Each structure stands twice: as structure tokens, then as C-alpha cells.
Amino acid sequence: MDYKAYLVEELDGVYSGSIKELQMRDIEPGNVIIKVHYSSLNYKDALAASGVKGVASSYPFVPGIDVAGEILESSSNNFKAGEKVIATGYKLGMSVFGGFGELVQIPQEWVVPLPSDFSLLNAMSFGTAGLTAGACVKKILNNNPSFKNPVLVSGATGGVGSVAVNLLSNLNYEVHAITGKLNEELILKKMGASKVIDRNEFMAEPVKALDKAIYSAGVDTVGGDILSKMLSMIESHGSVACCGNVAGMKFTSSVFPFILRGISLIGVDSAESDINFKKEIWDLFSSDWSLNLDDYSKVISLEDIGDEITKILDGKQIGRVVIKHGD
């Protein structure tokens, strides 16, 4: 079976992508072949597309860590041809060719059925970024944040941040959004942020061991000093979900937020999460946590992926980018 894909190749240390015809190998036992209707652009895909070490295992490679589509061929008892499904994470788009191709072949254990009342397009409007935002919110809600103080979200206009702002606001939490794009204040307010905080202003004062405890919880999508500061501002027994590193891998903290306020720092790794946890989040997105992301996601074709990759690497992307295969 031939299929079209955005293939990233390396030549003399320079990585570049182009659309190529590839051939799908015969199906292996326990696998499914999915006809991908939609994939989405995540930060990790942009890293894989530009040859950053530690993401794609080898090149030539097809990025794309998430897909929504229908089963074309199945060697599994759990899925049959024609069934609509979602797959995110594990080795998809890391060492297994991903959703920037019209077909993927993956183990059935990575796949969840598309929830009823949920479209394939809707699924990839959330995509891995949305799933990660959902995982962050689920984990801070498990810690029963008070409604007394707002929840703080960093990287608010990004893929993860924008879904987190939308979701928390839909769940009636007051949301304060940290952003480097003050010109996007209106869109952040439309997503549900009651206050938009300039990233530079947030970081203007040095990080203290303990600051005023004015937030009930935090969703940090950027790491670095912003995470350090966030930790110092969370009220007693609140929590921070940490999932990203665009602002830096390292952060510093004293022990005081933990031993004097009892706060929790919760790590989120959506890619390797248990498949049942992923299913739980998708089911929530198709029911109690349903969100209309139409105004915060754009649908592009494979031909336009290059520009969008540059934009996400520059931190200039807003909301979600969905890749549509076929007409």
C-alpha cells in the first residue's frame, strides 16, 4: 500500500522535510493499520522535524505523535476494519512513523476507540496537547483545589496552555493566564482567562523562597524560572502540574512551599500514560469536559506544515494546528 507522508531526512547534518510516497509494510501480529484522517502539530513534532536529538530515534523519519482515523486493517481482536479510533504517544512519532503520514501501523495497545458524539476532527483539535492539558487538570482536581484563589496557567496561548485555560474556565475556576503575547489578551479572555499576565512582569521580581500565596493551583507548560516562581505562590495544600520545558529544563525551589504549605508538584507525561487514563480523559472531553475549540484551532494540509513548524519553534503559535489528510 502506497501512502503520502511528510518525510524528514538528514543530509550533512541539515534536516529538511518534504512530501514523499512511501510504502506500508505488511501488517504484523497484534498491530492495526490506521488510515489517518487528522493528525496535529505538537511541540515534540516540531523538534522531531528539525532533527533535535532525543526525539526521533533515527532518520529518515515521519513525525506526528497523534492520529485520529479509521482502522484499515487489523490483526487484533479488539479492533475491526472501519472502526474510528484515536492514538497518541508511546513510540508513535518517536521511533514509529507517525501521523504526518496518511497511514500508520501501530500496536493495538496504543489505540482507543473514538468516543461516541466526538468527531475525528474534534479529537485532533485537542490532540496530544489537549490530552496533556486534560491530564494536568485531572491531576490538580484530584488534589481538590479551593475556589478561593485563581488557577495560574503558563504558556497560555500555546497548545497545552490554551486548552487548559478553556477547560478550567469551563469548570468554573477563575483562571489567570501568563503569556509572552500581550497582543493576544482578547483571545485569552475569550478562552476564559479573567486576568492576563505579561510573562516579563511576572518574572520582574526575583523568585522568593515563599511569595504571597495567591493561587490555588497551577498548570505549568514551560518550566524554568516560571515554574520556580509559580511554586512559591501556591496556597496551602494546592498543587502545580508540570508538563513542559520551552522556558528551560531547570528550575529552583526551596523546600518551603512543600514543608510549610504542603503543596504538591505533579509531573505529567501524557505520552507514556496508561491507556485507560488516556481513555478516561477522551471520554471526559466527549462529555462533561466538552469544549468548542473551533476558534482556537486551524486546519491545514500537509503541504503547509513547514511554516507551522517554524512558528511553534519560535513560540509564536496560538492554540492548535490540525493536519488534515486527503480532500
Ligand X SMILES: NC(=O)c1ccc[n+]([C@@H]2O[C@H](COP(=O)([O-])OP(=O)(O)OC[C@H]3O[C@@H](n4cnc5c(N)ncnc54)[C@H](OP(=O)(O)O)[C@@H]3O)[C@@H](O)[C@H]2O)c1
- Contact residues toward ligand X (CB under 6 A) are 42-44, 128-129, 132, 155-161, 179-181, 199, 221-222, 226, 243-247, 268-271, 312, 315, 317
Distance CA(302)–CA(36), nearest Å, equals: 12
Torsion, Cα 84 89 95 96, to 10 degrees, reads: 0
- Looking at the Cβ atoms of 120 and 312, the one nearer to ligand X is 312
Residue 70 identity (one-letter amino acid):
E
Q: What is the DSSP string of 258-284?
A: HHTS--EEEE--STTS-HHHHHHHHHH
Q: Are 150 and 119 in contact (CB under 8 A)?
A: no
- Looking at the Cβ atoms of 6 and 43, the one nearer to ligand X is 43
- Looking at the Cβ atoms of 168 and 271, the one nearer to ligand X is 271
DSSP alpha helices (H): ranges in 206-247?
224-232
- Looking at the Cβ atoms of 42 and 216, the one nearer to ligand X is 42
Closest residue to bound ligand X by CB: 158
- Looking at the Cβ atoms of 20 and 195, the one nearer to ligand X is 195
State the burial class of residue 180 (Cβ atoms within 10 Å of its Cβ: 0-12, 13-18, 19+): middle
Distance CA(322)–CA(41), nearest Å, equals: 6
Write down the least CB distance from residue 201 to ligand X, Å.
12
- 37, 10, 114, 99: which is closest to 62 by C-alpha? 99
Write down the least CB distance from residue 221 to ligand X, Å.
4
Write down the least CB distance from residue 149 to ligand X, Å.
21
Distance CA(20)–CA(302), nearest Å, equals: 11
- Looking at the Cβ atoms of 106 and 312, the one nearer to ligand X is 312
Write down the least CB distance from residue 44 to ligand X, Å.
5
- Looking at the Cβ atoms of 128 and 228, the one nearer to ligand X is 128
Write down the least CB distance from residue 321 to ligand X, Å.
8
Q: Are 322 and 125 in contact (CB under 8 A)?
A: yes
- 279, 310, 248: which is closest to 111 by C-alpha? 279
Write down the least CB distance from residue 27 to ligand X, Å.
29
- Looking at the Cβ atoms of 181 and 298, the one nearer to ligand X is 181
Q: Are 256 and 231 in contact (CB under 8 A)?
A: no
Write down the least CB distance from residue 245 to ligand X, Å.
5
Write down the least CB distance from residue 38 to ligand X, Å.
16
Distance CA(44)–CA(50), nearest Å, equals: 10
